[in-house]
Structure 1
């Protein structure tokens, strides 16, 4: 009986923390000035907020099957959110929407300068249905 009461209180606390962090991510998405800052605002508190919500669900359910699924969800989010944020930041940098003054070190600029340039004329198709010249 006392364990259920403590679990209910902890569930409420974890849900409030998760909701607050998710709200902070949303506010940061709207208020931060550039794309890189917005990516940090949406990925970092969102993952922790999700962890708190999943922990609250695990406290209420207490079944091993549910806990395994929740753990799988958390691991998937922790693997995909940073990768997608990184790819969005690279695309934003290449597209010119990243403010250069917001970067302390521009490592990607040097890598782009060192990369071989693409050919200006299109290459001929080597598709099997089209004969080659």
Structure 2
């Protein structure tokens, strides 16, 4: 078995693994009950699935130009997914669209109360 064949097999395995993670993320978006759990499904497995798919494509094609472009896509995805998940969770919290009964500790409410006290000119 040559090195090209090994890389093709590894690329195919990465593509299948990435597709499985993308499917898990899609099912999580449909099945999970609240925005916080959906945010988790939209960020973690979706990003990892995309990373596996891009790794599979780079292993299969083995072109430096393609690998460079896929590296940029990976960097952008890794930088933007946590930010979008954070914004979704804060928006859900501020608009009251999250399940307060299932959350044990609400640290964001404490932080917001402290910020409101600091902004109050009377105290």
TM-score normalised to the size of structure 1?
Answer: 0.81
Give the equivalent residue in structure 2 for 1:21: 21
Bigger RCO (CA 8 Å, 6+ sep): 2
Alpha-carbon distance, 1:109 to partner: 0.6
Q: Compare the two structures and name the one with the higher helix fraction.
A: 2
Give the equivalent residue in structure 1 for 2:61: 61
Provide the secondary structure at the position in 2 that maps to 1:101. Answer: helix
Give the equivalent residue in structure 1 for 2:99: 99
Larger radius of gyration between Structure 1 and Structure 2: 1
Q: Which whole-Å deviations, capped at 9, do the CAs of 1:70-108 have from their partners, x for residues lacking one?
A: 111111101100101101110110000011123232111
Please list every run of 5 or more consecutive structure 1 residues that lacks an aligned counterpart in the other structure: 119-133
Partners in 1 of 2:102 and 2:71 — Cα distance? Answer: 36
Q: Please report the RMSD computed on the Cα atoms of aligned residues, expressed in angstroms.
A: 1.9
Do residues 50 (structure 1) and 50 (structure 2) align? yes
How many aligned residue pairs are there? 119
Does the 8 Å contact 2:12/2:60 carry over to 1? no
Give the equivalent residue in structure 2 for 1:39: 39
Stretches (4+) displaced over 6 A: none
Q: Which whole-Å deviations, capped at 9, do the CAs of 1:43-76 have from their partners, x for residues lacking one?
A: 1011111111111111122122221211111111
Please list every run of 5 or more consecutive structure 2 residues that lacks an aligned counterpart in the other structure: none
